[in-house]
Amino acid sequence: MYKRSFLDISSLKREEIDGLVRLAARLKAEKKAGIEQQYLQGKNIVLLFAKDSTRTRCSFEVGAFDQGARVTYIGSSGSQMGKKESIEDTARVLGRMYDGIEYRGYGQEIVETLAEYSGVPVWNGLTNESHPTQFLADLLTITEHSDKPLEQIKVCFAGTADNNVALSLMVGCAKMGIEYSAAAPAAYHPDATLVERLRRENGARITISEDVATAVAGADFIYTDVWVSMGEPTEVWAERIERLAPYQVNRRMMELTGNPNCRFMHCLPAFHDLETTVAQEIHRQFGLSEMEVSDEVFESEASIVFDEAENRMHTIKAIMVATLSEQPETTF
């Protein structure tokens, strides 16, 4: 992975994904044992966040600090990029100053352009189309919470099965041999051509169904995400709530899996209570006090969402180390 960018899951081989998760697990164990080795001393990293973030930003910052690198954070209004300076020119400038560039924002073509013109590794911190660093954290979390070989694990995504998180999860599961299903209304099914390609190229076992019972049967992990993603207009709320309400992850859905050991996953943030201004506004307009997941499931023993959130940092750290360090033990 040395000197390579990390732009989407599709462009990675199974061995590379496996190598990144193994490296993350090692760095995690070494950090907890107080024996972490620093591979990024002297490196400078810039974080471009055109959209807000808690987990991804903090993961890049803490991961870089742990590894001895220095970080510059630039928010949505903190640079000339896209306003007075093109993506291409910005990439060429940043590539002269930094060893690696993270980008969170809009189209996938933006991270691809940054990678093409900067000459340094670029990491996708979320685009409209994909959220590949999230998948690595999901995979590490799945391996920590299951004793089964990957080929015997089933992951079911409930809700907006065509959003960036769900698509990276589906592609990642296909690459890793994990069975994947989605419980979703037809309007939010992933592109059928992509599903067919994953089946053809990876022998992927993928079921996309409007029927909740069919999709969740036998699942080891139920995964969901917010019904409206960052950047989408508030006008879509009414339609999303009406269509997605039957796909809320709640106790009934968890029981429908037939698997008492089924775990609940969520990339976060989650609308499971009324403790946020957005949730309060939704409650005022639509009367809902929880959305994609019930508070009962979110707070249950089955919920592993905070392990998953912590693993964002260990896996993002692994991505930075693998792409910026040429030490033999980080090279694969």
Comparing C-alpha atoms, which of 163, 170, 102, 183 is closest to residue 139?
170
Catalytic, out of 55, 67, 134, 314: 134
Number of Cβ within a 10 Å radius of residue 25: 17
Tokens of 41: 């001393």
Q: Among residue numbers 99 through 138, which ones bind ligand CP (CB under 6 A)?
A: 126, 134
State yes or no: is 266 an active-site residue.
no
Can residue 316 be called a binding residue for ligand CP (CB under 6 A)?
Answer: no
Catalytic, out of 173, 225, 248, 263: 225
In contact, 192 and 186? CB cutoff 8 Å: no
In the complex with ligand CP, which residue's Cβ is closer, 94 or 267? 267
Number of Cβ within a 10 Å radius of residue 279: 19
State yes or no: is 312 an active-site residue.
yes
Q: Among residue numbers 265 through 294, which ones bind ligand CP (CB under 6 A)?
A: 267-268
Comparing C-alpha atoms, which of 158, 101, 154, 108 is closest to residue 131?
108
The site for ligand CP, by CB under 6 A, has a size of 8
Which DSSP string do the residues of 262-328 spell out, in sequence order?
Answer: -EEEE-S---SSS-SHHHHHHHHHH--S--SB-HHHHTSTTB-HHHHHHHHHHHHHHHHHHHH---G
Stretch of 53-61, 184-192, 272-280, 287-295 lying at the interface with ligand CP (CB under 6 A): 53-61
In the complex with ligand CP, which residue's Cβ is closer, 263 or 266? 266
State yes or no: is 134 an active-site residue.
yes
Please state the separation of Cα 256 from the chain's center in Å. Answer: 26
Stretch of 8-16, 36-44, 51-59, 298-306 lying at the interface with ligand CP (CB under 6 A): 51-59
Q: Output the smallest distance, CB 145 to ligand CP, in A.
A: 18
State yes or no: is 307 an active-site residue.
no
Which positions are catalytic?
A: 104, 131, 134, 225, 267, 312
